[in-house]
Structure 1
C-alpha cells in the first residue's frame, strides 16, 4: 500500500477524469455527426445519452473500484469475476488501443489545429509531443501531479472562456449557423447513423472510468473515488452540451460536415482569423493534458498487468520513485506506431468500437457484487445502472459493426492477437514452473 505522501487527493483524481474525457473527441466528432444528423435536438440527445451512460458507468466503477482494492481497473474486475483470459485481453487492449490510441489521436489533433498557422505540423511533431509528455511523467508522482494539474487547469479555463464567448457573442448573419429546431429529430433518431454517431459520442466520454485504474494511489478511496468520478463526469457532460451549442451556433453545416478541426472553423467565425488562431493554440495546449492523463493512467494498468505475465514482465519495473517508466514509454512507442499506420477516422472508429465492447464486459461484473458487499449503493436500484449501460452498448456495437465493418474487424483482429499472446504467455509460465 502506498504511503499517504505518495497518494493523490480527490481534486487531482477529478483532474485526471476531466483531462481524460475532454480532449480529442469533443473538438473533432461533430463534423462526423453532421454528415448524417443535422437536427439540433438530435445532436443534443446524442450527447445527453452519452453523458447518462458515462454517469451510469461511473456509478458502476465507483462501486467496483471500492470493492476491488488497488490499481488495475478492468484488469482486476474481469480477471477476478470471470476468467484470467478476459483480464489479460482487457489489459492487452488497454496497452494497444485503450490508452495508446487516444494519445495518438490527441497528438494528431494537435498537429491538425496548429496547421492553422500555414505550417505543416505533421506526424513528426505529434510523435515528439508524445515523448516530451512521457518524459515529464517519469520523475515522481509529485512532479506528474503538478504537470498534469497545470495543463488540466489550462484545459478547464479554456473551455469555460470558450463557452462564455460562444454563448454571449452573436453569430455572423453572413456566415449562418447550424441550429435546426424542428420535428426531423424523430426521424433521425431511427436512423442507423444515429447509433453510429453514438460511437463517436461514447468515445468522447471515454475517461469517465480513469480514476478507478489508479484507486491504489487515491487517499480515502471509498470516499474520494466516487466523488472524483461523479464530479468529473457531470462537469464534462455540461461542458459538452455547451460546446456543441456554440459550434452549431457559429458555423453552418456545410462548413463543418466531414471535418476534423471543427472548432478551428467555428473560432474563425466567432473571433476572426487572428483570434481564431489563438483558440487553435489553446485547443492544442489543452490536448497535452489529454496525452498526459492517458499515459499516466494507462501505464499503471499496464504495470499491474505486466507484474502477472511473463511475456510483459519487463514493463512492470518502476524507477526509485515507483513511477512505471517502462510502461509509460511503451505506450508512447505504440502511439507512435498507430500514428504511422492509420488515418484519423479509421483509428477513431476501431478504438471506439473495442473500448465500448470491453467497457461493457467490465460493467457487467458489477452484477456479481452482493448487495451486502456494496460500499456505496445499498439499494437494488443500483442494477438500473449496468442494465441501461449494457442495453445501449449492444445497440451501439451492432450498428457500428454493420456500418463500419473494416474498422470493427481491425479492432477484433487486435483482440484475436491478444488471445494468441495469452496462450503463449500461459505456455511460458508453465515451462518456468
Structure 2
C-alpha cells in the first residue's frame, strides 16, 4: 500500500496527455510507459537490496552516509527533507483541495484552508505511530485504485470492438526521434515515489523479507495500472483526443457519464492525492529525524516518542513547513528547483550498491538485485541522462537546484561545528 500510494498521486490522471503530445501513435505511448515502468522496476529492485541490507529509518540518507560520507548524505537531506518533501506535500495537498472543492461545490477560496486542514489531519494521525498512519494510507490507496479501475473500465467500454484504431499512427502528430525520447521524461516522473517505503524501513516487520516483496509487488502493480489506464485513455479519447486534453481523466469520464462523471473522478483524484501526502509526510519526517540524530539538525527533532515510536516533533516541523509553503504559494518554484536534486539522489543512492558489494563482502545481503551490475548501472545511467535532458530543457531550474545543493555545504559545516561545541 505504501509503495502504490507513494507512486500514484495526481500524475497518471494528467501526465499521459504530455506523453501523447510528443508521440505519433498510441503504440508509441504504450511503449514509452512500458519502458518507463521497466526502468523504474530496475530501480525498485536495487532499492530492495539496499533496504534489505540496511532496514532502518532514513532510507537513501543512510545509504549515502555509509557509502560516501556525511556530507553527501546531508546534502540529500537538505534538499529532500527540508525542501522537496514539504514542497511536494504542499503542492499535492493543494491539488487535493482543488479537486475536493470542485467535487462538493465549494468556492475556490476554500482551497488553501482545506489543504492546510488536510496536512494538519495527516500529521495528527501519524503522531499516534505507524499503525495509525497505515490505516489512513490503506483506506486511501484502496480508493485511488478504485478510481484507476473505474477509468480502465470506462475506457474499454467506450472502445467496444474498435480498440485497434486507438493505436494507429496519427499523421497530425509526426514527431522527430529526439522529441520521442524526451517524452519518456514525464512518464518517469509519474513513476517516482517508490523510495518512501525505504524511508520507513525501521518500522517494517521482518524488513529483509518484507521490503523486497513489497517493493516488487507494489511497483509491479503500479506499472500494470499505468499501462491499462493509458490503454483506456487511448480507447476512449483516441491518440489525438488524449494529446489535446488538459484533463484526460475528467474528459474520459465525461464522455460516458457527463458532468457527473467528471465529479466522480474528481473525488477519486482527491483521494489519490490525499493518500500521497500521508506517505510523503511520514517518510520525510523519518529522514529529518535521522538527520537530527546525526547532529545535522536541531536536536529535539531527533526525539522518538517511547509509546508510539513516532518522530512526533519531526512530523510537526515538516507539517508546519509544508503549511507555510501553502500559505506563501512558493512551493511550485521550490519543486521545479529541486527536481534535479531529487533524481541525483536516486542515482547516487542506487550507486551505493556498488560500494556495499565491494566493501561488505563479509555481510551478505538477504536479498540481491538480479542482473548485477547491469541493472543498477542501466538505471543510474538512465537517470543521469534524464537529469541532463532536464537541465537542457530548463537550465534555470537546474541551475537553481544545483545552487540549493551548494548552499547546503556551508550549512553542513556550520551544523558540524555546533554539534562539536554541544
Q: TM-score, normalised by structure 1?
A: 0.86
2:292 pairs with 1:303: no
Q: Residues of 1 paired with 2:114 and 2:157: CA distance? A: 35
Q: Residues of 2 paired with 1:178 and 1:409: CA distance? A: 43
Residue by residue over 1:99-158, the C-alpha shift from the partner in whole angstroms, topping out at 9 and shown as x without a partner, is: 223322321222333454563143332222222222122123332222221222222233
SS of the aligned residue for 1:208 comes to: coil
2:310 pairs with 1:323: yes
Q: Residues of 2 paired with 1:110 and 1:407: CA distance? A: 25
Q: Residues of 2 paired with 1:331 and 1:355: CA distance? A: 17
2:59 paired residue among 41, 63, 73 = 73
Q: Residues of 2 paired with 1:378 and 1:152: CA distance? A: 29
Report deviation, 1:352: 3.5
Q: Report the CA distance shift for 1:290/1:227 in structure 2 as closer, same or farther (over 3 A).
A: same
1:216 maps to 202
Report deviation, 1:88: 0.6
1:127 paired residue among 102, 111, 116 = 116
1:139 maps to 128
SS of the aligned residue for 2:371 comes to: helix
Q: Report the CA distance shift for 1:378/1:359 in structure 2 as closer, same or farther (over 3 A).
A: closer
CA contact 1:25–1:204 (8 Å) conserved in 2: yes
2:222 maps to 236
SS of the aligned residue for 1:100 comes to: helix
CA contact 1:57–1:386 (8 Å) conserved in 2: yes
Of stretches 44-53 and 81-90 in structure 1, the one that deviates more from structure 2 is: 44-53
Report deviation, 1:188: 4.3
1:361 paired residue among 348, 353, 357 = 348
1:404 maps to 394
2:272 pairs with 1:286: yes
Q: Residues of 1 paired with 2:39 and 2:172: CA distance? A: 20
CA contact 2:30–2:227 (8 Å) conserved in 1: yes
CA contact 1:24–1:105 (8 Å) conserved in 2: no
2:148 pairs with 1:162: no
Report deviation, 1:347: 5.4
CA contact 2:77–2:288 (8 Å) conserved in 1: yes
2:386 pairs with 1:386: no
CA contact 1:35–1:257 (8 Å) conserved in 2: yes
2:96 pairs with 1:106: no
Report deviation, 1:192: 4.5
Q: Residues of 2 paired with 1:250 and 1:348: CA distance? A: 32
Of stretches 313-322 and 88-97 in structure 1, the one that deviates more from structure 2 is: 313-322
2:71 maps to 85
Residue by residue over 1:159-201, the C-alpha shift from the partner in whole angstroms, topping out at 9 and shown as x without a partner, is: 2233223222348x9xxx9945339899747224632x43322
Q: Residues of 1 paired with 2:219 and 2:369: CA distance? A: 22
Q: Residues of 2 paired with 1:113 and 1:178: CA distance? A: 32
Report deviation, 1:33: 3.2
Report deviation, 1:206: 1.6
Q: Report the CA distance shift for 1:282/1:94 in structure 2 as closer, same or farther (over 3 A).
A: same
Q: Residues of 2 paired with 1:376 and 1:48: CA distance? A: 29
1:262 paired residue among 229, 248, 265 = 248
5 Å-filtered alignment, 1:341-380, equals 341-342=329-330, 344=332, 349-370=336-357, 372=361, 373-376=363-366
2:406 maps to 416
Residue by residue over 1:411-431, the C-alpha shift from the partner in whole angstroms, topping out at 9 and shown as x without a partner, is: 223212222321211121233
Q: Residues of 1 paired with 2:11 and 2:376: CA distance? A: 24
Report deviation, 1:315: 1.7
CA contact 2:16–2:187 (8 Å) conserved in 1: no
Q: Report the CA distance shift for 1:379/1:160 in structure 2 as closer, same or farther (over 3 A).
A: closer
Of stretches 314-323 and 289-298 in structure 1, the one that deviates more from structure 2 is: 314-323
Residue by residue over 1:191-227, the C-alpha shift from the partner in whole angstroms, topping out at 9 and shown as x without a partner, is: 24632x4332222212222212222211111111100
1:332 paired residue among 302, 319, 329 = 319
Q: Report the CA distance shift for 1:198/1:374 in structure 2 as closer, same or farther (over 3 A).
A: farther
CA contact 2:253–2:265 (8 Å) conserved in 1: yes
Residue by residue over 1:358-409, the C-alpha shift from the partner in whole angstroms, topping out at 9 and shown as x without a partner, is: 1001011111222754425568832111111012112211111011122222
- Please list every run of 5 or more consecutive structure 1 residues that lacks an aligned counterpart in the other structure: 1-14
Residue by residue over 1:202-260, the C-alpha shift from the partner in whole angstroms, topping out at 9 and shown as x without a partner, is: 22212222212222211111111100000001000010111122223333667665876
CA contact 2:57–2:201 (8 Å) conserved in 1: yes
Q: Residues of 2 paired with 1:289 and 1:403: CA distance? A: 31
SS of the aligned residue for 2:199 comes to: helix
5 Å-filtered alignment, 1:168-247, equals 168-170=157-159, 179-182=166-169, 188=175, 190-192=177-179, 194-195=181-182, 197-247=183-233
